[in-house]
Structure 1
Amino acid sequence: MCGIVGIIGLLEVNSSTILTSISHRGPDSQGFFQEGELFLGHTRLSIQDLSENGNQPMFSKDGRFVIVFNGEIYNHLEIRQSLGEFDFKSSGDTETVLYAYIKHGIECLSMFNGIFSFSVFDLHTKELFIARDHFGVKPLYLYQDEHLFLFSSEIKTFLSLPIQKDLDNEALMNYLSYLWSPGEKTPFKLVKKLLPGHYLKFNISEFQQAKPISFYQPNLDGEHLQDTEEELINQLDQLLIQAVDRQMLSDVPVGFFLSGGLDSTLLVAIAKKIYPERKFPCFTIDIDSQNSKMEDFADDLVYATKAADFLEVDLHIVKATIDIVDSFDQMIWHLDEPQADAAPINVLNIAKLAREKGIKVLIGGTGGDDLFSGYRRHQALLLESILRKIPNGIRQLLKHIIGILPIKSALFRRIRKISENMDLSPTARMKGYFKWLSSERIYSLFSKSIQQELNGYDPSLYFDELLLQIPQEKSVLNQMLYWELKTFLVDHNLNYTDKMGMAVGVEIRVPFLDVLLVEFAQKLPPEMKMKGKETKYLLKKVAERYLPKEIIYRPKTGFGAPVRKWITEDMSDMLEQRLSKSNIEKQGIFDYDAVWKLINDNKENKIDASYPIWAILAIDSWINQFSLRKYEI
């Protein structure tokens, strides 16, 4: 795992400054290639072939092609066998990717089962090829104006270059709506995320015309597997074994996240089945039990300890003692985006301890909920058949009555969340489960000039566009899971998973996003994902072969922190200082009165808005660090 960067349009590049900006991603070595106005840079985290033969940029034997690569191709040894005519100098996957591209061109992407962002330059034709993996496990950002084209694993690489820093206020509305920004948008208007499963290929003299092209689209066509339940359990079991085994590929020690939840625990259990003699180092978080009850988290540590004892693995416990005021800006800096969640801090702290213990690779359960239905909003879909039969007038009345319920209780918060959109259409209700505030309230938070610029912008229209990609899929659960895959998973979970691990030079792998496993999950009948109220039904049936039922059927929990307590108590002074009238008016983004009405309404328990308030602070921190360069981490 590494950091990559590319620049077109500058004859002089300060390579030291550029590579230092992503040196945390690759602390083992760094290098660059420059020809005219093209610069390719790389910082390496050595995972496969630890020798200098694996260093990058890497050239083909004839010197015609050069590659910078970030990621892991888990089936690269199989691919290498089909590339027998090439003389390999290394045992790593970078060289496999290079020669697969030389031989197969764009078609090589369909061969890769792994996580990647990479670029290959042809010194003869002057063509540059850039690609990002199927599901967006590895990040890649693009900047493009009439004079300059850039790409990098992280936005912060661009900050020392002569880029235009105009803000994208539609993206800021995205972050306030969802706590993350779905699709291409980032806070910089000219910086875009290369979408998962997309590539670019262009002559570097014509970079202004470069446009991303899709190479992979999940196949949700309404056709589902007809196998028996037992046959599906067997198939899923074998795919999980294959995925875990593939992702154990490493020349350095491998560790595991072990929360005590189903997904991470099952992966450890499968690894133990494959390698029974190994005692894998595992890592978990000890969240303060009092705060976890306030935030409706189950006590993970009890289950993690039970799982570790059952599986006979070493469990390293990270105390979740966080000074959020001191940690906040650092977290936003590493995230590259103003995401509003505290879970990244837990990932960062686990990765730090793993690195201290000599672990460069961690395997985690990210993606299990998104493939097999593990979120409460999926259970909320069970109400659809009832809501569709209730006249709209009665739904509006129910919404009003439920809106009076107090929100101190986690149960009442969830009921109010479900009721907020019950008077809308079924699709609008589904979209509403992803939002934290109404569009009207979010608009009110912006200054008058930005309200005019937004001019009715609706972030949820992106979700409608996604549904147009799967017109044959009629299952509302599968439609929502498609949204998860295309938005929440990639733009929230995977972004912070990658960034927090790589902040300390730790690669985090996600076996649930093995390409073959994802394609199998998408063909499952919806009732094999959620049967009645039981989420992840088929996955749990597989887990029964490996784990005690008390771990499989334990209460659902999040990988979070006491955000509501932090916002209303610990961060009060921070709110007063950073969201003061003078600061807000100087920045020109938000409306002071609207912001403070939201803060006070939240403190008085009139509304559950701690996370959107966190988003406002995150945007403020991001602007000061990335746009104004006011803070230095």
Structure 2
Amino acid sequence: MCGIAGIVSASVASSVDLRSTIRHRGPDGEGIFNAPGIQLAHTRLAILDLSPNGKQPMQTADGRYVIIFNGEIYNHHDLRATLTDRYVFRSTSDTETLLYGFAAYGTAVFKKLNGIFACAIFDTVTRELVLVRDQFGVKPLYYYQKDGLLLFSSELKTIAAYPGVDKSIDYPALVNYLHFLYSPGMQTPFQYVSKLLPGHYIHLPIDEPQAISIKRYYDLPFRGTYSEQSESQLLEELDERLFTAVKRQLQSDVPLAFFLSGGLDSSLIMAMAKRAHPQERLTGYTIRTAFRHGKFEGFENDLPYARQVAAHLNIDLVEVDADVDIVRDFDRMIYHLDEPQADTAPFNVLNICREARKNGHTVLLGGTAGDDVFSGYRRHQALTMEPFLNKIPPVVGRLLNRTINLGANDAPLLRRLRKLTAGMGQPQQERMADYFARLPIATNHKLFERTIGHTLHDHQPRHQLLTALERIPNEKSLLNQLLFWELSYFLPDHNLNYTDKMSMAVGVETRVPFLDTELVEFSTKLPPSLKMHGRTTKYLLRKVAERYLPSAVIYRPKTGFGTPLRDWLRSGQLNEMLKCYLSEESLRQRGIFDPVAVHQLIRDNQNGKLDATYSIWGLMAIESWFRQFVDSGHSTL
């Protein structure tokens, strides 16, 4: 894992060091490559081949190709075996394997990779640059293009800090952040900065920057055809494929450990690692919250389950105090996230990674994406209600939703019922897309200052999801359509973004075994009933887990990294910050949001008329982002 950045320009500003904003991603070394019209910068977190032979930028022996690379290629030994008769390797690093793989196969090499990666490869002969991002978007890559200047980086802050970039705001993206709590797809808050989509690469002749082209090299294979093998046969295959995925990702020349929340996914990854190394003393990290008993805001304390798994597998468990000082850490979190995401889970990822790094563990494996690949969210269970909702006349459905809205906002069950019935009377796929919404779109649009708001009425965030279904026309399973959205948007633009940014903030690499390419492709061919059986999510995965874990862990209620955000906003630690960031004076100076509408939203949330807690958090995140990325260039946190 590393940080990468680069400039393509007729005149590269020699006074700018692109590495200054990404040094936290690579504390073990750095390098730079310069040629007319291009600069490539790299900061290194050494994982494979710790010797100087692994340093970057790295060039082929003949000097033709130059690479800067962030990530891990888990099948690089297999790829290297196809190249050894043509090239002499100087290192054992996967970077060199990818470099010569590109020399041999060109962009076709990307389809051969099983890993997590974002990289830039420059051909010094043809003067062509290729930028690529892995199949599922585990590793981030941002790029800016305007007036003959191309900037790219692992982090948006690099681009924001570059002199003279156009920081015009993309207001529809701000709608997205309030609607989803993240911005799906390419959009960022900056009009001229985009995210390279997962499974895509950019090709650019650097002497003709206007000739840039973006191509898809991989797409999720949801084709509506499923395996005809028996459940028992598929159970065996899933067991072995998951084991193979974990075993692949244990390769490391530095100490590694594991996230262990006590949930099914992280516990099963831990169990597979123990199966691979039964005699090795493994280490898991978990969060110890201040809320150690019972439930709060619908979350259940994970710690007892993590302890149970640790005892069952005979592994060391490090309990990390949540240690969330929300006022102290809020701006720092937004700075590292690069985007105004509204979630509290990043705090826990950061705390665990900081403790792991202190203990000498540079790599952490976790259970991220288990829910997205095999089903696991409440919105997946909500699909069981669709046959009934389809039979309710629209007028009755709207009346039902209004009746439910009269209930208390504090009750988690009522909040879920409100979301379930919010789309009553709409076509089914539109209703499903609204499972991802945090705020009614009409309310969202009204939050904006009138002039801006008039330009936003045609922007419907769910349209991106609905249009994406055109890529999988033969997939009729509603569950698989939802999982397609999870893997295409929620996972890369939300979960994977904060996992990468928070871990790399302290120089830790995170790995995601559930996103092994072969495992994901196998999952798309599973009969949907083996993913969700009735209301039992991850049905077949739970059957695999029965071979390794206690039943109480396998069949426990779904939870997550939780914090008492609603209490914080109403009267707790965040209340004074809210009054400052969303004061009438602050909002009027910013000129984007209507103070009257924002304060009405806050009152409606406090009075229980609607649940806008995370949208209000999102408004604060947007203000924090502006202060750090727009007002003063970029933060120096």
Whether contact under 8 Å (1:405, 1:416) holds in the other structure is no
How many residues align structurally?
A: 633
Q: Distance in 1 between matches of 2:454 and 2:393?
A: 36
Tell whether the 8 Å contact from 1:128 to 1:204 is kept in structure 2 after alignment.
Answer: yes
The alpha-carbon deviation at position 14 of structure 1 amounts to 4.5
Aligned partners of 1:59 and 1:443: how far apart in 2? 50
Cα offset, 1:13, TM superposition: 3.4
Q: CA deviation at 1:10?
A: 5.3
Question: 1:625 maps to which residue?
Answer: 628
Give the residue type in structure 1 aligned to 2:591: G
Partner of 2:418: 416
* Structure 2 letter corresponding to 1:529: K
Judge conservation of contact 2:110–2:217 (CA < 8 Å) in 1.
Answer: yes
Give the structure 2 partner of residue 124 of structure 1: 125
Distance in 2 separating the partners of 1:18 and 1:310: 47
* Equivalent in 605, 609, 613 of residue 610 of structure 1: 613
Q: Distance in 1 between matches of 2:608 and 2:77?
A: 57
2:463 alignment partner, one of 457, 461, 466: 461
Whole-Å separation in 2 of the counterparts to 1:584 and 1:292: 39
1:480 — aligned with what? 482
Shift of 1:252: 0.2
- Does 398-407 or 51-60 show the bigger shift? 398-407
Secondary structure of the residue aligned to 1:316 is: strand
Aligned with 1:363 (options 357, 362, 365): 365
2 CA distance for matches of 1:104 and 1:36?
A: 26
- With normalisation by structure 1, the TM-score equals 0.98
Other-structure match for 1:38: 38
Q: Show the counterpart of 1:112.
A: 113
Question: Deviation at 1:383?
Answer: 0.5
Match of 1:9 in 2: 9
Work out the CA distance in 2 between the residues paired with 1:563 and 1:183.
27
Structure-1 residue corresponding to 2:530:
528
Matched to 1:106, the amino acid is T
Of 356, 371, 377, 1:375 maps to 377
Partner of 1:65: 65
2:315 is aligned to: 313
Preserved CA contact (<8 Å) 1:15 1:32 = no
CA positional deviation for 1:147: 2.4
Give CA-to-partner distance per residue, 1:526-553, whole Å, 9 cap, x none.
1000000100000000001111111100
Contact (CA 8 Å) 2:6, 2:18: kept in 1 or not? Answer: no
2:508 match = 506
Q: Tell me, yes or no, if the aligned pair for 2:185 and 2:197 is still in contact at 8 Å.
A: yes
1:396–1:422: 8 Å Cα contact kept in structure 2? yes
Structure-1 residue corresponding to 2:297: 295
Q: What secondary structure sits across from 2:266 in the alignment? A: helix
Structure 2 residues without counterparts, runs of 5 or longer? none
Is the CA contact 2:246–2:273 (under 8 Å) kept in the aligned structure 1?
yes
Q: Does 1:574 align with 2:577?
A: yes
The worse-fitting range, judged by mean Cα deviation, of 454-463 and 509-518 is 454-463
Offset, 1:18? 1.4
Aligned amino acid, residue 82 of structure 1: T
Q: Which AA in structure 2 matches 1:126? A: R
Runs of 4+ aligned structure 1 residues displaced above 4 Å come to: none
Deviation of 1:55 after TM superposition, in Å, equals 0.4
Question: After the TM superposition, which of the residue ranges 452-461 and 245-254 deviates more from structure 2?
Answer: 452-461
Q: Following the alignment from structure 2 to structure 1, what is the Cα–Cα distance between the partners of residues 205 and 421?
A: 53
User: Is the Cα contact below 8 Å between 1:291 and 1:562 reproduced in 2?
Assistant: no
CA drift at 1:413: 1.2
Contact between 2:366 and 2:512, CA under 8 Å: does it hold in 1?
yes
- CA change 1:355–1:148 in 2 (3 A) is same
Query: Is the contact made by 1:145 and 1:208 (CA closer than 8 Å) also made in structure 2?
Result: no
1:79 and 2:79 correspond: yes
CA distance in 2: counterparts of 1:479 and 1:564, whole angstroms: 31
CA distance in 2, matches of 1:160, 1:321: 30
Q: 2:562 aligns to what SS in structure 1?
A: coil
Distance 1:393 1:600 in 2: 28
Higher mean displacement: 152-161 or 282-291: 282-291
SS in 2 for 1:150: strand
8 Å CA contact retained: 2:12, 2:38 = no
1:302-323 alpha-carbon deviations (Å, 9 max, x no partner): 0000100111111111111211
Alignment of 1:395-414 (within 5 A): 395-414=397-416
The 3 A distance-change label for structure 1 pair 44 and 16 is farther
Q: 1:563 aligns with which of 562, 565, 569?
A: 565
Tell me the amino acid that sits aligned with residue 497 of structure 1.
T
Aligned-pair CA distance for 1:404:
1.2
Q: Secondary structure at the match of 1:49?
A: coil
Question: What amino acid maps onto 2:577 in structure 1?
Answer: M
- Residue ranges of structure 1 left out of the alignment (5+ in a row): none
* Whole-Å separation in 2 of the counterparts to 1:366 and 1:497: 9
CA distance in structure 2 between the aligned counterparts of 1:297 and 1:206, rounded to whole angstroms: 53
RMSD (CA atoms): 1.2
Conserved? CA contact 1:236–1:542, under 8 Å: yes
Per the TM alignment, residue 393 of structure 1 is displaced from its structure 2 partner at its CA by 2.2
Does the Cα contact within 8 Å between 1:17 and 1:160 map onto a contact in 2?
no
1:291 deviates by: 9.0
Output the CA distance in 1 between the equivalents of 2:32 and 2:636.
Answer: 25
Task: State the identity %.
Answer: 50
Shift in alpha-carbon separation, 1:290–1:573, aligned structure 2, 3 A: farther
Match of 2:184 among 175, 182, 185: 182
How far off its partner does 1:158 sit? 1.1
Q: Deviations over 1:147-177 (max 9, x none)?
A: 2001110011112322100000000000000
CA deviations over 1:84-103 (Å, ceiling 9, x no partner)? 12110000000000000000
Partner of residue 138, structure 2: 137
Q: Any conservation in 1 of the 2:258–2:364 contact (CA below 8 Å)?
A: yes
Task: Check conservation: 2:118, 2:133, Cα contact below 8 A.
Answer: yes
Give CA-to-partner distance per residue, 1:488-539, whole Å, 9 cap, x none. 0010000001000000000000000000000001111110000001000000
The answer to whether 1:587 aligns with 2:565 is no
1:416 deviates by 1.4
Contact 2:258–2:366 (Cα < 8 Å) also in 1: yes
